[in-house]
Amino acid sequence: MQKKEQIGEIARYRRDGTRVAYQNKDISSKRFGESLKGGSLEVYGIKNSKIVGVRPTNLPTIEAKELRLDNLFEMEDGSLAIIDYESKYSEKNKVKYLGYIAQVSKRVYNEYGEFRPLRLIIIYTADIERGATNPILDMGGFALRLEEAFLTELNPVLIRKQITEKIDQDIPLTEEDQMKLVIYPLTYRGRKAQREAVSEAIDIAETIKDDEQLRKVESGLLVFADKIISNRDIERIIGRLSMTKIERWYDERQKEAVEDERRKQQDKSRSEKEEIVIKLLRSGVSENQVSEGTGFTIEEVQDLAAKYNKKKKQTE
């Protein structure tokens, strides 16, 4: 089956009737979100935004066509952050935001048995200037306060100049450089200029020599430029970021996470068993009996006994 036919099979329609390969972009969203671990949203002008974890929202009523990161971020300060992107301002959007908060809060409470601090961050494209929005919804006994960032405050000409100069000089792009290139199209005003900037951003990305950085940037462009990217540019990216590559990358990360958790559980289990060995030895049980009863070899029991005695002497 040809690439174009494969894209067509998984395509859905935008409101304007154009086709969008959403399955590819859903996977790209997960992949891009995972790559943000350890990074921050400072590039947007959002303070205290160090990301320590990324969790999929799994909120069925949030529509796939919304321009947003399909992730729930765990922040360094212990809070959870929902990110949404807007190219138009409307008070009515706050109803949508309340829905996000209600669903995320419900899921978090079901998982943890308590509520956690929640941040709702709205990032406006260059079509919206600071001062043209109202970040607070005051309903008397209840108030919603949004955190806002405005891409109009970023200079697209400067972004392009800095990034292309680094690439030309074989200087590695920083995390901030990559994020700026991803949002570069949204720093322009107007749909036409933004769409042209998407093509330009892809052209620039194609000159990046580091494959991982290239994939991150192009996956990010699929996510961030959702409402403006043309079908031609979607196919350009997907032609390189084939489903197989994206899925492999994401599966590898998932497997790593599972393996890390398994190792943690094994370490925890062994630590608990070692404590039992020490308690048995302290109560006078012989090393041979401890070995038979716990499954540890006699050498392991003797090694634990030696470590315990050494630690005991150091504290005396």
Region of 128 please: left (phi>0), alpha (psi -120 to 50) or beta: beta
Quote the pTM value: 0.61
Q: DSSP 3-state assignment of 141?
A: coil
Q: CA 296, CA 285: separation in Å to the nearest integer?
A: 14
pLDDT tens column, 75-105 = 888 888 888 888 889 999 999 889 888 888 8
- DSSP state at residue 201: H
| Tens-digit pLDDT profile for residues 142-165 | 899 999 999 999 999 999 999 999
Record the tokens describing residue 132, joined without a space. Answer: 């043209």
Q: Tens place of pLDDT for every residue, the chain, 316 residues?
A: 444 433 333 344 444 444 444 455 555 556 666 667 777 888 888 888 888 877 765 544 444 344 344 467 888 888 888 888 888 899 999 998 898 888 888 888 887 788 889 999 898 989 999 999 999 999 888 899 999 999 999 999 999 999 999 999 999 999 889 989 988 999 999 889 999 999 999 999 989 988 888 888 888 887 777 778 888 888 777 766 654 455 555 666 666 776 776 777 666 677 778 888 888 888 888 888 888 777 788 888 888 888 877 776 766 6
Assigned token pair, 2: 């040809």
